[in-house]
Structure 1
């Protein structure tokens, strides 16, 4: 996802502030309209980076001292005291797992590692049936349990929050910006974003949705957003090929294998960036038919990009068109 629009000054003393930096193996960026009563970019950036540091300490699967990796390294039938945000996201993951009949699941890290996509991966390859069956015994939200402020497991499961952690970070940043008196902003982390209010010239924030191509970024659709999170999940960049077949990093936890359908990417608009993040992944896992039916049943604003013989075709539902505002194609 790329951001579109050049902002101009209004001559009333207000200004547009921007800053960015590294986070979660990618980058974050903040744009906000500064008024006389709102803080400057250095102070705001410090607040944002404190939030991102907390997210990294709690959710990162790429550092051994994070809260979730210490839990992942525990054997079966153990518990660990966890900060409230981790327990919150475990509950969100349980909800999404239940609603997708187990296709979406937070405990897929062993599968990611086995297929070559995870933090402990060694080689991208199709695993043996025996190795897959062994790992599948350690996958499933049913193996997790919250007991007070502790997270417990009855199998050697490993939790991976990559499908919702960035959305949670964006929501947390947005709440902090609002507390600082900033009400016109676009906050983005690793491609998940939330846009609220207006740009400096009074026009809406515009977001360019990207056509899934490996060689370059092409704007498929430009939408106007105010007060919503936007998330795009796709399988078109992180994949490998073996034996003439294409294997992506998007997994159906029920089968333990990468999805093989024709849905290339899904964009979701939702009041919560966290839920937009999780739902875009869930719909991508379910595919062009099951995912579409799920979005319609749950009134989820969704934009589907589907592979076809001639390239890509797009499909949007009424909920998406209602929230996307003006459009430019």
Structure 2
């Protein structure tokens, strides 16, 4: 699913200029199907057809203006059909969660029922620690300087994903440009929001939701998360510090901070 690899399934799909059915593996198709589900759930805030915009601002290899509506992309058991010949897919906002789920499936296939996996800042936990207590994860404070925890939370049979702009962003002429695109503005998300952390049963869901909620910003994001009952933490820049907004039962999960 890497758009940076020339012969990955997604790169081959993106180079094809046709609206005929194109073959894709079940792994990629599951990621696209979940992306469509999260797109509908977040009113279009998650849209993996905007890789051209991501690349335009220096955060990815996909070039060319976005084409074709994501909701019109068709799927079947062995492939997908574009809504426009030049339509492209960028699954970087969901592929890591898919990888975490596959790691968990592999561990369970050899009989392991209790484990904690971390991949690029996203975590997935099953069972408990050896002493019977829940697994723990820290949500990083998204401020420049030494990495410090903002909150430490408990996990049991669930995943936690965080999206933010601390690393993959730059400021130019007073505006912050990051790798997460706001589909409504058709431009990089630009707000006081610094990071969003969200719980979900599966890592692939948490990964996509964190991206979508960050794209929605510090007002629309918490409003949608609260309405949908998502357990999420929104951290926004406030002067030299941070302002917290929690939705759902996130506060009940905190064990430190």
| C-alpha separation in 2, matches of 1:208 and 1:197 | 18
Cα RMSD, aligned residues only: 1.8
* Structure 1 residues 142 and 76: CA distance shift in structure 2, 3 A: farther
Alignment match, 2:193: 263
1:239 to 2:172 alignment? no
Please show how residues 64-213 of structure 1 align to structure 2 within 5 Å.
64-120=6-62, 135-136=65-66, 138=67, 140-155=69-84, 156-213=86-143
The list of structure 1 runs, each at least 4 consecutive aligned residues, that deviate by more than 3 angstroms after superposition, is none
* Cα distance in 1, alignment partners of residues 71 and 156 from structure 2: 37
Matched-pair contact (CA < 8 Å) for 1:76–1:157? no
Q: Which has the larger radius of gyration?
A: 1
* SS in structure 1 at match of 2:167: coil
Q: Is the 8 A contact 1:103 1:286 kept in 2?
A: yes
Change (3 A) 1:261 1:139: farther
- Which sections of structure 1, spanning at least 5 residues, go unmatched? 1-58, 122-133
1: CA distance, partners of 2:197 / 2:173: 30
Helix, strand or coil for the counterpart of 2:46? coil
Q: Distance in 1 between matches of 2:73 and 2:248?
A: 36
Alpha-carbon distance between aligned partners in 2 of 1:317 and 1:142, rounded to the nearest angstrom: 28
Give the aligned partner of residue 48 of structure 1: none
Tell me if 1:321 matches 2:244. Answer: no
Distance 2:173 2:223 in 1: 32
| Equivalent residue pairs, number | 256
Equivalence for 1:285 = 215
**How many angstroms apart in 2 are the aligned matches of 1:238 and 1:143?**
30
Q: Under a length normalisation based on structure 2, what TM-score does the superposition of the two structures give? A: 0.93
Q: CA deviation at 1:139?
A: 5.5
Deviations 1:169-220 (A, max 9, x none): 1111112212211111101222221112222333321111100022221111
The answer to whether the Cα contact below 8 Å between 2:69 and 2:83 also exists between their aligned partners in 1 is: no
| Runs (5+) with no aligned partner, structure 2 | none
| Mapped partners of 2:241, 2:68: distance in 1 | 35
CA distance 1:243–1:68, shift in 2 (3 Å): same
Deviation of residue 120 (structure 1)? Answer: 4.8
Contact conserved, 1:214 with 1:237, CA < 8 A, in 2?
Answer: no
